[in-house]
């Protein structure tokens, strides 16, 4: 933790986030797409932790009880939510696979226009 | 009785609505529970009772009001707030003044009688309770219309009665003609509503913009007791605005009250059951327009132009409908056109400033036209639902009571001097018109012209009503027994063939307009399927029998009301006029201290022109009546033309033209209603043509073009969507970074 | 700064944490409604667990009773004062109570007409009821907190249940596809939302919305830009939920593919939640001019354009649709635009424009939307469902009552007086003028004229007679569906007739 | 604090660049797809076998359940670190809270077991209807059904 400053973490987070976003758009396998989304979520977690760690005492905290450690709390909840989304997403992908033996998202445009 | 508390007025509309709920929720169950006969009796009683109770209550309140004297008899009962948004406040409030109470009495009184009649007339109807559900709902809505103290409530009632009329016309919706008639009524009335709404918005906008000039300041921009004084103050120097508002409101009145361009739904509305025709399409709903013009008469008093148009439209309607009535052979159709014509009379009265005369005629007309319709219903009932007068004749032998009462109705409508009610009101209207100094168009005193034309209209009225009476009750032989003596069209074949012929004839003739929900082919198929001669049992052996008491008792009561007693009491000493428009509330300058309404011209109010016309007025109207009656007697009873070897064929052209309403109806339908498949679309098409003349269509093309363009982005690919979202987000951020400080305060 | 990791001794750290987290102030009533809804869902799940694949009457009964009590506990708190409890996580004020009441109402209506439809579609799984209840609890959470953590959790609870529900009809490729689309895009959007929250947290040092106002300082470049960045990404996430253009494209596909009752809930409940969250966020991110440039002066113009786009694009594309559910989806996009106008009017001038308009419009919107979808759900039978316009043909003969109600819903969606839709639009128009957003008012008026065409098309389709046997015979009218139609149609008029008393009751005296 | 400005600029820059890159490639790039291009491993090598059948779908089930339990542990751990030496009031309160959490969790697991979701043998796992196999009650499938279910464009 010594030496690095906040900017480094934020930059890393931003790069991870951007890679994830681009991945969502260029990949065709829903599982991979979802992995990219997970990457974005992890980038968010990194950002949260970085902010929480470097939260300056001069920051205009609202002085409410919940503001302390709320960054870390948020990270845990994000992880939980991500897990839930994984479960549901894999379930949906399984259902589609059972239905059409094929999970390419570019094959799925029954509905358009 | 006189001590009835005014606060109770809320129960007058509430009672029929409660009855409506009872019929709607419990009706079928009760009938099933108590069995067909007793159940129907019970529900019939439960349908009549609330209306009658409302009548008693209204009568009591009316007495209280009459004791209050002219200065105080304008009460407003407020219940609770309805709408309170910034700058507009509309409470639930009921106005208790002579006008509203008069209408409430007419609606509940005549309504109760017709309900009673309907219990007998609809006895073998399967959906007995559904019928009375609609009827009670109609009474409630009509009472809201006449009692509501603001335009919004009036509009609610306005739509409500429209809905009930729509439902009741289409009551036998299995029959195609009824469905189509109902749809025509629906479509045409939308046009009227459009006018009403625009007028309403104009009033609100106008008062809101000049709010600082009215005192006391108010945000009840729709309540009569607030806006009438305000309009009185403001319209003095905005005659143009007065004209706009007046004309817009009058368009609404034209739709509801079946005036000339928009009248064409009313004759087809006769497809509904006869009590409906009597209650809604003769006595009450169609007079809503007159009531509204009376309510808002301040506007019209400031605009001679609008008044002039009202008078002209009324006059044209009166003459036109009277002419059309000659061509009709269906007894209810004749009465329908006579209703349209009489409504024209009322609007002439309103146009020339004799508002009270208009209301006077509303009341008397409610009595004798309801009587005539119910009588015709009795005749149709007795004649196995044959409505074609050409197969009647000499019925007075079979249905004496009906004959007697309908004769009274006939004398009343043709205005038999002094002994019958119609005479007084009609004479008041014609007098008011002849003595008019109010309605002006391009500097011409149109009122006077309309007065003379109405005299001719009275002649026509008495002629065709005489025709109806004689063809039905007198004129020698029973025609349905030996078709050979078929009098009018010269051809002789049996009713059924003729009926079929009539229908073939209808097929290309406009009055069977296109249905709401049908495409052309659909129509054709249904034409084939629809049971044209449903309950159609008129045979040579048929012997009509007099109807049951529950049906002729109302006839008798209405006949009594149609006699001169009513007219005399209301007309003598100008009782009714001063009840509606008390002279003491006006000062010389024309503006009233109490109600703050401008005075109508003295001559118009008196309803008696000066000079020789004034003295000769009675003789003129009586003369017109006599000429018409004698013409009818000679032609339809003595058959003078036939005896003198006069060639009837020469008149057949006029008859056919008249039967087809001089091709106006067919033209209108081809033009507006027939277009597009289903008539919801037709409403749109008609509106487009009426309102913005196809501009909307152009926009429609453009819009769907743009829609197609945007639609291309909806590729259906998840990744494309994600990309669009991403681009949108980036654009959002860039916009944040670059723009800013834009809209916010 | 907090130097936590410098402390090697775990106990010390734990001590500090324990001191930092005193047991918070507890106000049970303020979370009772949500708890009730969640527990109802659990009970429903247990019932389904104990007797799977049997009729769902018991579950429906439980659910409706639970919702009724939730609504009861909500209305019983109308009088009680505003209160923020559970360490600033749960907020009870008039807005949250009202919105939660709306959500409860919407859920009840949906559950009411679901059973018949699910049977007709041959997917009568009891799981539907717990899932829809939990989804509703998520929407309620979004409305009842000013803490971004809670709002985020609410969104996710709402969405994750909806992902499953959208894919509920497992034999339908359409349904599964819509589920996958909704899921992928939803997760994508929530990642952006979270990133925005992260930056807002970094700038304000708190997850509480009230911190935004105190943290805004237009003269400090870094803070300003971070808050703008965070705001933009949060708007991204919320705009997706509320289906604002250009974040709307999932809406028509998902609405078309998902089972119709789920679509109805999505269109009403999920939109209510999203609008509530948006309302909280926007009204919390307004600042006074005394600091210099206000925060809203940065984001207001963007939302201004988004509102215009949303109204226009929604209506335009709806004009060229062939599928009823799709058309209704686009119309819901347009209505989202109208509601956004109402919210902007409030945010732009809070003194003049209250929350009444938004609440009333959401109420009337959910009534007419659920009603319309309920009628459309009549086209399902024998596990099949066709929702193109021609599949509605002849409906008026099979069930005239439903079509009569459909007319009411369509009239209200168009905004024909005297329906509630007319009043809602009138109020939004009025507010837009009152808070000098004239352009939005004009666009709204133009759009409501545009929309007439396709709405009339829907009503018309129900009246045209069925040509040939291409259409599946529609399901027979069942009691629940009739009740839903009746409640919605009656409600559309009731809220107009009882306008002022209702508004006083819902949002307090003006 | 001034160093935040760099971040923000970088953020804007990166966002714009990403958006531009992807959108340009998506908009401008030709979209002619050949079966050869469709095949996985688009590096010229002929794929061996079907790339989509990587491993049996049932592994997903295990993965899902694993993740869920994993998350449960995260919560419990972070709670226990605080719990073990906090004061009584906090302990009681948080214990109640966590118990509620656990009860919900157990109900969920019970449901999963009840519907045989973790039954390794795929044929018997879940009710056929819940797996999407046509319900025995359903009618025989016709062309119209397919059109309805598959949905015409």
| DSSP for C92-143, written as a single string | E-HHHHHHHHHHHHHHHHHHHHHHHHHHHTT---TTHHHHHHHHHHHHHHHH
Confidence of residue B495 (pLDDT cuts 50, 70, 90): very low
Confidence of residue B179 (pLDDT cuts 50, 70, 90): low
Chain C contact for A44 (CB, 8 A cutoff): yes
Query: What mean pLDDT do residues D117-146 have?
Result: 51
Q: Cβ of A110 and D7 within 8 Å?
A: no
Is pLDDT larger for residue C382 or for residue B469? B469
Confidence of residue C280 (pLDDT cuts 50, 70, 90): very high
Confidence of residue C79 (pLDDT cuts 50, 70, 90): confident
φ, ψ (nearest 5 deg) of residue C388: -75, 165
Is pLDDT larger for residue C410 or for residue D47? C410
ipTM of the complex: 0.85
Q: Cβ of B734 and D12 within 8 Å?
A: yes
Name the percent of chain B lying above pLDDT 90. 14
Subunits with 3+ Cβ pairs within 8 Å of B are A, C, D
Would A31 be classed as within a structural domain? yes
Nearest to A33 among C22, C176, C184 (CB): C184
User: Please, are residues A47 and A16 in contact by the beta-carbon 8 Å criterion?
Assistant: no
Mutate to test the interface with B, among C319, C348, C456 (most CBs of B within 10 A): C319
Nearest to D16 among B720, B723, B730 (CB): B730
Query: What mean pLDDT do residues B482-501 have?
Result: 44
Residue C247 confidence (pLDDT): 93
Residue B647 confidence (pLDDT): 61
- Which one, of C195, C206, C207, C199, lies nearest residue C223 by Cα? C199
Residue C100 confidence (pLDDT): 95
Would C7 be classed as within a structural domain? no
- Domain CATH for A10: 1.10.287.3510
Chain C contact for B732 (CB, 8 A cutoff): yes
> Closest Cα of chain A to B720: distance in Å?
7
Give B327's contacts (C-beta < 8 A, 6+ positions apart): B654, B655, B656, B657, B658, B659, B660, B661
Residue B305 confidence (pLDDT): 87
Q: Cβ of B716 and A106 within 8 Å?
A: no
Residue D22 with chain B: CB contacts under 8 Å: 723, 726
Query: What mean pLDDT do residues B677-700 have?
Result: 51
Q: Cβ of C385 and D148 within 8 Å?
A: yes
Residue A108 with chain B: CB contacts under 8 Å: 716, 718
Residue D26 with chain B: CB contacts under 8 Å: 720, 723
Residue A62 clears pLDDT 50, i.e. is over it: no
Query: What mean pLDDT do residues B233-258 have?
Result: 88
User: Please, are residues A94 and D60 in contact by the beta-carbon 8 Å criterion?
Assistant: yes
Segment (H or E) for C66: helix C57-76
Residues 198-237 of C with CB under 8 A from A: 198-199, 201-202, 204-208, 210-211, 214-215, 217
Q: Cβ of C236 and B729 within 8 Å?
A: yes
- Best mean pLDDT range from B562-576, C223-237, C284-298: C223-237
Query: What mean pLDDT do residues A49-55 have?
Result: 85
Residue D12 with chain B: CB contacts under 8 Å: 733-734, 737
Residue B502 clears pLDDT 60, i.e. is over it: no
Give the 3-state secondary structure of A54-73.
Answer: CCCCCCCCCCCHHHCCHHHH
Residue B337 clears pLDDT 50, i.e. is over it: yes
Residue C239 confidence (pLDDT): 95
Give B353's contacts (C-beta < 8 A, 6+ positions apart): B300, B301, B307, B432, B436, B438, B439, B447, B600, B601, B604, B605
Query: What mean pLDDT do residues B370-378 have?
Result: 90
Residue B1 clears pLDDT 60, i.e. is over it: no
In three-state secondary structure terms, D141 is coil
Q: Chain-centre distance of CA B278, in angstroms?
A: 11
Confidence of residue A39 (pLDDT cuts 50, 70, 90): very high
Residue B679 clears pLDDT 60, i.e. is over it: no
Confidence of residue B683 (pLDDT cuts 50, 70, 90): low
Residue B581 confidence (pLDDT): 74
User: Please, are residues B62 and B109 in contact by the beta-carbon 8 Å criterion?
Assistant: no
Segment (H or E) for A38: helix A30-53
For residue C472, give the chain D residue with the closest CA.
D144
Confidence of residue C215 (pLDDT cuts 50, 70, 90): confident
Euclidean distance between CA atoms B325 and B332, whole angstroms: 10
For residue A44, give the chain C residue with the closest CA.
C195
User: Average pLDDT, whole number, for chain B?
Assistant: 77
Residue A101 clears pLDDT 50, i.e. is over it: yes
- Best mean pLDDT range from B91-100, C462-471, C486-495: C486-495
Residue C328 clears pLDDT 90, i.e. is over it: yes
Name the percent of chain C lying above pLDDT 70. 92
Residue B178 confidence (pLDDT): 65
Is pLDDT larger for residue B713 or for residue B114? B114
> Closest Cα of chain C to A107: distance in Å?
10
Mutate to test the interface with A, among B717, B724, B726, B733 (most CBs of A within 10 A): B717
Residue D150 with chain A: CB contacts under 8 Å: 110
Confidence of residue C266 (pLDDT cuts 50, 70, 90): very high
Nearest to A90 among D10, D60, D151 (CB): D60
Euclidean distance between CA atoms B91 and B113, whole angstroms: 33
Residue B115 clears pLDDT 70, i.e. is over it: yes
Nearest to C174 among D115, D127, D151 (CB): D151
Give the E-state strand segments of B380-429 in sequence order: none
Residue B650 confidence (pLDDT): 62
Q: Cβ of A109 and B716 within 8 Å?
A: yes
Q: What is the pLDDT of residues B42-74, one digit of tens each?
A: 888 889 999 999 999 999 998 888 887 766 777
User: Please, are residues C149 and C89 in contact by the beta-carbon 8 Å criterion?
Assistant: yes
Picking from B225-234, B727-736, C36-45, C495-504, which range would have the lowest pLDDT averaged per residue? B225-234
Residue C338 confidence (pLDDT): 95
Is pLDDT larger for residue B42 or for residue D146? B42
- Residue C323's DSSP bridge partners are C388
Chain A contact for B501 (CB, 8 A cutoff): no
Residue B653 confidence (pLDDT): 67
How many contacts does C have with D, using Cβ atoms within 8 A?
Answer: 100
Residue A53 clears pLDDT 50, i.e. is over it: yes
Picking from B469-478, B643-652, C286-295, D120-129, which range would have the lowest pLDDT averaged per residue? D120-129
Residue D14 with chain A: CB contacts under 8 Å: 14-15, 18
Q: What is the pLDDT of residues C128-158, one digit of tens each?
A: 999 999 999 999 999 999 999 999 999 999 9
Confidence of residue C64 (pLDDT cuts 50, 70, 90): very high
User: Please, are residues B604 and B354 in contact by the beta-carbon 8 Å criterion?
Assistant: yes
Q: Give the domain range for residue C146.
A: 25-507
Segment (H or E) for A14: helix A6-26
Model pTM score: 0.77
Would C376 be classed as within a structural domain? yes
For residue C258, give the chain A residue with the closest CA.
A111
Subunits with 3+ Cβ pairs within 8 Å of C are A, B, D
Q: What is the pLDDT of residues A77-87, one digit of tens each?
A: 999 999 889 88
- Which one, of C367, C368, C386, lies nearest residue C377 by Cα? C386
Would A34 be classed as within a structural domain? yes
Residue B711 with chain A: CB contacts under 8 Å: 113
Residues 2-31 of D with CB under 8 A from B: 12, 15-16, 18-19, 22-23, 26
- Residue B83's DSSP bridge partners are B90
Category of B191 on φ-ψ map: left (φ > 0), alpha (ψ -120 to 50) or beta: alpha
User: Average pLDDT, whole number, for chain C?
Assistant: 87
Confidence of residue B476 (pLDDT cuts 50, 70, 90): low
The DSSP string of C441-489 is HHHHHHHHHHHHHHHHHHHHHHHSPPPTT-SPPPPPP-HHHHHHHHHHH
Is pLDDT larger for residue C177 or for residue B675? C177
Chain A contact for B711 (CB, 8 A cutoff): yes
How many contacts does A have with B, using Cβ atoms within 8 A?
Answer: 30
Residue C109 clears pLDDT 60, i.e. is over it: yes
Confidence of residue C19 (pLDDT cuts 50, 70, 90): low
Picking from A47-51, C54-58, C186-190, D93-97, which range would have the lowest pLDDT averaged per residue? C54-58
- Best mean pLDDT range from B130-144, C17-31, D16-30: B130-144
User: Please, are residues B360 and B428 in contact by the beta-carbon 8 Å criterion?
Assistant: yes
Euclidean distance between CA atoms C367 and B494, whole angstroms: 57
- Helix ranges (H only) for B486-610 are 495-508, 520-529, 549-562, 564-571, 575-580, 602-606
Q: Cβ of A109 and B717 within 8 Å?
A: yes
> Closest Cα of chain A to D94: distance in Å?
15
> Closest Cα of chain D to A46: distance in Å?
15
> Closest Cα of chain A to B704: distance in Å?
13
Residue A3 confidence (pLDDT): 59
Mutate to test the interface with D, among A10, A15, A17 (most CBs of D within 10 A): A10
Is pLDDT larger for residue B484 or for residue C62? C62
CA distance readout (Å), C311 to A31, B521, C415, C447: 35, 38, 15, 7
Residue B551 clears pLDDT 90, i.e. is over it: no
CA distance readout (Å), C422 to A47, B502, C285, D28: 47, 45, 31, 45
Q: What is the pLDDT of residues C429-483, one digit of tens each?
A: 988 988 888 899 999 988 888 888 888 888 888 877 666 545 556 666 788 899 9
Query: What mean pLDDT do residues B346-365 have?
Result: 88
Q: What is the pLDDT of residues D32-79, one digit of tens each?
A: 666 665 655 545 555 555 555 455 666 777 777 788 788 888 888 888
Nearest to B733 among D12, D22, D26 (CB): D12
Domains of chain A: total: 1
Residue A47 with chain C: CB contacts under 8 Å: 195, 198-199, 202
Q: Cβ of A26 and B719 within 8 Å?
A: yes
Domains of chain C: total: 1
Q: Give the domain range for residue A99.
A: 6-54+68-106
Residue B175 confidence (pLDDT): 62
Q: Cβ of C206 and A67 within 8 Å?
A: yes
Residue B87 clears pLDDT 50, i.e. is over it: yes
Nearest to A110 among D1, D63, D151 (CB): D151
Residue A65 confidence (pLDDT): 45
Residue B535 confidence (pLDDT): 43
């Amino acid at each position: 933790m010594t030496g690095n400053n906040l900017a480094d973490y934020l930059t890393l987070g931003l790069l991870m986030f951007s890679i994830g976003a681009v991945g969502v758009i260029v990949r065709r396998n829903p599982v991979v797409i979802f992995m990219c989304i997970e990457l974005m979520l992890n980038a968010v977690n990194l950002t949260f932790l970085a902010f929480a760690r470097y939260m300056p005492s001069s920051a205009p905290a609202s002085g409410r009880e919940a503001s302390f450690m709320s960054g870390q709390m948020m990270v845990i909840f994000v992880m939980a939510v991500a897990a839930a989304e994984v479960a549901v997403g894999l379930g949906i992908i399984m259902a589609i696979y059972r239905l059409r033996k094929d999970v390419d998202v570019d094959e799925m445009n029954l509905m358009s226009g | 009785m006189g001590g009835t508390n005014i606060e109770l007025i809320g129960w007058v509309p509430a009672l029929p609505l409660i009855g409506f709920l009872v019929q709607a929720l419990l009706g079928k169950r009760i009938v099933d529970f108590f069995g067909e006969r007793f159940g129907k009796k019970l529900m019939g009683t439960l349908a009549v009772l609330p209306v009658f109770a409302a009548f008693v209550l209204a009568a009591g309140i009316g007495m209280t009001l009459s004791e209050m004297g002219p200065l105080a008899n304008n009460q407003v009962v407020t219940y609770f707030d309805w709408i309170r948004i910034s700058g507009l406040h509309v409470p639930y409030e009921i106005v208790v003044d002579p006008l509203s109470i008069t209408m409430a009495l007419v609606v509940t009184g005549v309504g109760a009688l017709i309900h009673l009649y309907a219990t007998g007339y609809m006895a073998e109807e399967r959906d007995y309770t559904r019928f009375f559900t609609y009827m009670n709902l109609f009474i409630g809505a009509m009472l809201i219309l006449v009692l509501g103290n603001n335009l919004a409530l009036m509009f609610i009632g306005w739509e409500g009665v429209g809905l009930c009329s729509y439902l009741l016309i289409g009551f036998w919706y299995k029959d195609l003609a009824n469905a189509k008639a109902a749809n025509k009524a629906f479509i045409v009335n939308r046009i009227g509503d459009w006018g009403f709404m625009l007028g309403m918005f104009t009033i609100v906008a106008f008062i809101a913009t000049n709010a600082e000039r009215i005192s006391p300041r108010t945000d009840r921009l729709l309540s009569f007791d607030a806006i009438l004084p305000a309009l009185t103050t403001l319209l003095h120097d905005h005659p143009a605005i007065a004209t706009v508002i007046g004309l817009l409101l009058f368009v609404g009145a034209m739709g509801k009250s079946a005036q000339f361009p928009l009248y064409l739904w009313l004759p087809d509305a006769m497809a509904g059951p006869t009590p409906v025709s009597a209650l809604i399409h003769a006595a009450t709903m169609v007079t809503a327009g007159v009531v509204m013009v009376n309510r808002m008469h301040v506007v019209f008093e400031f605009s001679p132009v609008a008044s002039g148009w009202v008078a002209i439209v009324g006059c044209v309607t009166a003459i036109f409908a009277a002419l059309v009535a000659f061509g009709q052979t269906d007894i209810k159709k004749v009465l329908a056109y006579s209703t349209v014509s009489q409504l024209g009379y009322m609007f002439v009265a309103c146009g020339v400033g004799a508002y009270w005369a208009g209301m006077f005629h509303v009341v008397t007309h409610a009595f004798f036209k309801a009587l005539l319709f119910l009588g015709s219903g009795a005749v149709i009932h007795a004649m196995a639902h044959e409505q074609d007068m050409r197969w009647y004749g000499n019925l007075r032998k079979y249905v004496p009571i009906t004959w007697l009462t309908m004769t009274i109705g006939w004398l009343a409508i043709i205005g038999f001097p002094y002994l019958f009610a119609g005479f007084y009101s009609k004479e008041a209207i014609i007098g008011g018109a002849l003595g008019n100094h109010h309605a002006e168009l391009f500097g011409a005193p149109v009122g006077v012209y309309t007065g003379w034309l109405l005299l001719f209209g009275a002649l026509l009225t008495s002629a065709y009503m005489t025709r109806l009476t004689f063809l039905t009750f007198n004129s020698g032989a029973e025609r349905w027994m030996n078709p050979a003596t078929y009098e009018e069209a010269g051809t002789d074949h049996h009713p059924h063939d003729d009926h079929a012929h009539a229908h073939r004839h209808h097929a290309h003739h406009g009055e069977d307009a296109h249905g709401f929900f049908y495409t052309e082919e659909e129509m054709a198929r249904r034409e084939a399927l629809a049971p044209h001669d449903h309950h159609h049992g008129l045979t040579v052996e048929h012997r009509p029998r007099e109807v049951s008491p529950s049906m002729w008792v109302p006839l008798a009561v209405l006949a009594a009301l149609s006699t001169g007693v009513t007219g005399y009491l209301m007309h003598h000493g100008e009782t009714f006029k001063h009840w509606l428009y008390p002279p003491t509330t006006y000062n010389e300058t024309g503006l009233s201290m109490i109600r703050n309404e401008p005075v109508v011209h003295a001559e118009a109010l008196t309803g008696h022109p000066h000079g020789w016309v004034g003295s000769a007025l009675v003789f003129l109207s009586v003369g017109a009546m006599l000429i018409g009656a004698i013409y009818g007697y000679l032609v339809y009873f003595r058959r003078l033309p036939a005896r003198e070897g006069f060639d009837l064929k020469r008149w057949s052209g006029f008859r056919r033209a008249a039967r087809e309403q001089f091709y106006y109806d067919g033209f209108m339908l081809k033009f507006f209603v027939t277009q597009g498949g289903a008539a919801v679309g037709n409403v749109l098409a008609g509106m487009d043509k009426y309102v913005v003349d196809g501009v909307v269509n152009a926009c429609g093309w453009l819009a769907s073009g743009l829609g197609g363009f945007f639609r291309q982005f909806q590729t259906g690919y998840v990744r494309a969507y994600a990309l669009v979202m991403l681009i949108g987000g980036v654009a959002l951020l860039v916009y944040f970074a670059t723009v800013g400080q834009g809209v916010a305060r | 700064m907090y130097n936590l990791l410098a402390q090697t001794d775990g106990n010390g750290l734990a001590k500090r944490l324990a001191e930092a987290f005193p047991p918070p102030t507890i106000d049970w009533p303020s979370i009772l409604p949500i708890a009730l809804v969640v527990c109802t869902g659990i009970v429903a799940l247990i019932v389904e667990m104990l007797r799977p694949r049997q009729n769902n009457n018991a579950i429906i009964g439980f659910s409706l009773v639970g919702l009724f009590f939730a609504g009861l506990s909500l209305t019983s708190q109308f009088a009680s004062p505003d209160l923020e409890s559970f360490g600033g996580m749960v907020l009870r004020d008039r807005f949250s109570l009202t919105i939660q009441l709306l959500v409860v109402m919407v859920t009840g209506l949906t559950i009411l007409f679901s059973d018949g439809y699910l049977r007709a579609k041959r997917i009568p799984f009891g799981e539907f009821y717990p899932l829809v209840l939990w989804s509703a609890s998520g929407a309620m959470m979004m409305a009842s907190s000013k803490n971004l953590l809670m709002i985020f959790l609410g969104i996710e609870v709402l969405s994750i249940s909806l992902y499953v529900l959208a894919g509920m009809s497992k034999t339908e490729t359409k349904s599964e596809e819509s589920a996958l689309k909704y899921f992928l895009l939803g997760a994508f959007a929530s990642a952006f939302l979270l990133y925005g929250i992260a930056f807002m947290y970094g700038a304000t040092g708190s997850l509480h919305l009230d911190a935004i106002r105190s943290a805004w300082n237009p003269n400090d470049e870094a803070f300003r830009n971070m808050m703008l960045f965070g705001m933009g990404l949060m708007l991204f996430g919320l705009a997706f939920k509320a289906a604002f253009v250009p974040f709307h494209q999932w809406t028509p596909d998902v609405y078309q593919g998902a089972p119709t009752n789920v679509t109805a809930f999505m269109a009403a409940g999920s939109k209510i939640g999203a609008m509530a969250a948006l309302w909280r966020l926007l009204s919390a991110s307004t600042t006074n001019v005394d600091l210099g440039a206000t925060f809203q002066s940065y984001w207001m113009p963007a939302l201004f354009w988004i509102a215009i786009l949303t109204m226009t694009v929604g209506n335009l594309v709806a004009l060229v649709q062939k599928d009823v559910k799709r058309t209704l989806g686009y119309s819901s996009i347009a209505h989202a635009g109208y509601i956004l106008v109402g919210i902007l009017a409030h945010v732009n001038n809070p003194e003049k424009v209250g929350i009444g308009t938004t609440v009333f419009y959401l109420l009337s919107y959910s009534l007419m939307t659920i009603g319309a979808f309920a009628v459309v759900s009549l086209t399902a039978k024998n596990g099949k469902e066709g929702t193109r316009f021609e599949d509605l043909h002849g409906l008026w003969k099979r069930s005239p009552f439903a079509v009569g109600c459909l007319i009411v819903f369509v009239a209200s969606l168009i905004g024909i007086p005297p329906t509630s839709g007319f009043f809602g639009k009138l109020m939004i128009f009025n507010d837009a003028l009152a808070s000098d957003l004239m352009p939005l008012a004009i666009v709204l008026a133009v759009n409501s004229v545009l929309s007439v065409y396709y709405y009339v098309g829907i009503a018309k389709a129900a009246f045209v007679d069925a040509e040939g046997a291409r259409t599946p015979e529609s399901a027979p009218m069942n009691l629940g569906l009739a009740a839903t139609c009746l409640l919605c149609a009656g409600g559309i008029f009731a809220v107009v007739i009882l306008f002022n008393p209702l508004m006083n009751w819902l949002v307090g005296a003006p | 604090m001034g160093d935040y400005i760099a971040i923000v600029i970088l953020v804007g820059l990166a966002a714009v660049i990403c958006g531009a890159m992807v959108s340009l490639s998506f908009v401008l790039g030709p979209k002619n797809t050949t079966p050869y291009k469709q095949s996985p491993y688009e590096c010229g090598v002929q794929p061996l076998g079907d790339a989509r059948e990587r491993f049996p779908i049932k592994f997903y089930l295990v993965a899902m359940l694993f993740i869920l339990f994993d998350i449960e542990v995260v919560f419990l751990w972070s709670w226990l670190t605080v719990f073990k030496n906090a004061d009584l009031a906090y302990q009681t309160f948080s214990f109640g809270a966590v118990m509620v959490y656990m009860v919900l969790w157990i109900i969920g697991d019970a449901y999963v077991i009840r519907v045989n979701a973790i039954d390794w043998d795929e044929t018997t796992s879940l009710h056929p209807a819940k797996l999407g196999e046509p319900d025995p009650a359903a009618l025989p499938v016709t062309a119209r059904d397919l059109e309805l279910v598959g949905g015409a464009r």
